[in-house]
Amino acid sequence: MKIGIVCYPTYGGSGVLATELGIALANRGHQIHFITYKRPARLFEFHKNIYFHEVNSSEYPLFEYAPYETALASRMVDIAIHENLDLLHVHYAIPHAAAAYMAKSILKKKNIYIPVVTTLHGTDISLVGLDSAYAPVVEFSINESDVVTSVSQSLKEQTMGYFDTIGDIDVIYNFIDHSKFTRKEDKEFKQSIAPNGEFILSHTSNFRKIKRVDDAIRVFEEIYRKVPCKLLLIGDGPERPSLEALSRQIGLHKEIIFLGKQDAVERILSISDLFILPSELESFGLSALEAMAVEVPVISSNIGGIPEVNIHGETGFLSEVGDFKDMAKNALSLLQDPEKFEKFKKNALAKANTFTKEIIVPQYERVYEKALKTQLAHQ
């Protein structure tokens, strides 16, 4: 199939997932056309089946905001025609689903019929999508998509609760490339972070308020009082300055290491003992899955789709949002019980093995077949 993939090219989960999906589909013989404003962050290497088309929304003195959505829709039309696309798959509803609807309508006028698959990732529904500035367009463009998928059952239910949806939503979970996310011991690296054999806790996110990274620091503070440990904070975002200030304020700035944005997250996870994800919104928690694949149990909140990934008392623990004391208590119950800890590590890997690209990617292929059939029926 020739598939146009539209996504955010950044380090965010939706862009990572879309990129990994494109690579996996290309490896299965599909021709993939990424359509976005920048090369996706995780698209490193040349692949004979992968093309990248940059969207340029040009500045003009009249525009306070460059009309990206119009430029994106126009690029989709152009690529669909000249690359003979079979299908458009857009990740994150805003504004991609609306731009895809526009492209599809333009193509229809030219007697070209291209189905649109929209994958909902989370904040496009739970945060931004619910904003009345966007909601009517989100609802409309979801309903105009030929197939809609969501990355968890929880997100599906949330979408159906918030919006007047007319069709079904297929749940297709996030996946990772397990050949990359495999635990590889690196004693030298571990020694450089924890020279006295301290436990290493880690957290990855875009450091936005909804990630509650301050809770990760509070959890760490509680644990630090009982066992020697270090905290690695991977990523960057608007909350970073206040988090750095918090680390200094509690006197743990030498133990809390801000690593910034990283490409080889798997290397850092490989020297970690526990992963902390205290989010107040999380449709799935791709970062938790990455940690689990590297045999790192997860201490998390119980929000959104997290309980579909992190199983309480098996692969890690779930707590109420904001209950950092309970999170710390759960973490200590593992760090202070080696036998139990080993069991949780094995369970984390076993659960992560249910979200492989071999299991998940064919589910997207089936959805594409369904979209092509739906589209044919409407012609």
Which positions touch ligand GMT (CB under 6 A)?
Answer: 12-15, 17, 92, 121-123, 151, 174, 206, 210, 281-286
**Which residue lies nearer to ligand GMT by CB, 213 or 349?**
213
CA distance 197 to 211: 28
CA distance 367 to 345: 33
Q: What is the DSSP string of 33-74?
A: EEEESS--TT--S--TTEEEEE------TT-SS--HHHHHHH
What lies within 8 Å, CB to CB, of 110 at 6+ separation is: 81
CA distance 292 to 350: 9
State the burial class of residue 175 (Cβ atoms within 10 Å of its Cβ: 0-12, 13-18, 19+): buried
CB of 287 to ligand GMT, least distance (A): 7
Contact 40, 7 (CB under 8 A): yes
Contact 233, 212 (CB under 8 A): no
Angle CA 115–119–122, to nearest 5:
155
CB of 369 to ligand GMT, least distance (A): 22
**Which residue lies nearer to ligand GMT by CB, 14 or 36?**
14
Nearest residue by C-beta to ligand GMT? Answer: 122
CB of 83 to ligand GMT, least distance (A): 26
**Which residue lies nearer to ligand GMT by CB, 281 or 299?**
281
**Which residue lies nearer to ligand GMT by CB, 121 or 351?**
121
CB of 281 to ligand GMT, least distance (A): 5
CB of 307 to ligand GMT, least distance (A): 12
CB of 16 to ligand GMT, least distance (A): 7
- Which tokens sit at 240? 């970073």
Residue type, 278: P
**Which residue lies nearer to ligand GMT by CB, 4 or 285?**
285
Instruction: Outline where 153-304 has alpha helix (H).
Output: 153-162, 187-193, 213-224, 240-249, 265-270, 286-293
**Which residue lies nearer to ligand GMT by CB, 12 or 278?**
12
CB of 226 to ligand GMT, least distance (A): 30
CA distance 258 to 242: 12
CB of 52 to ligand GMT, least distance (A): 19
**Which residue lies nearer to ligand GMT by CB, 114 or 281?**
281
Beta bridge partners of 147: 117
**Which residue lies nearer to ligand GMT by CB, 213 or 271?**
213
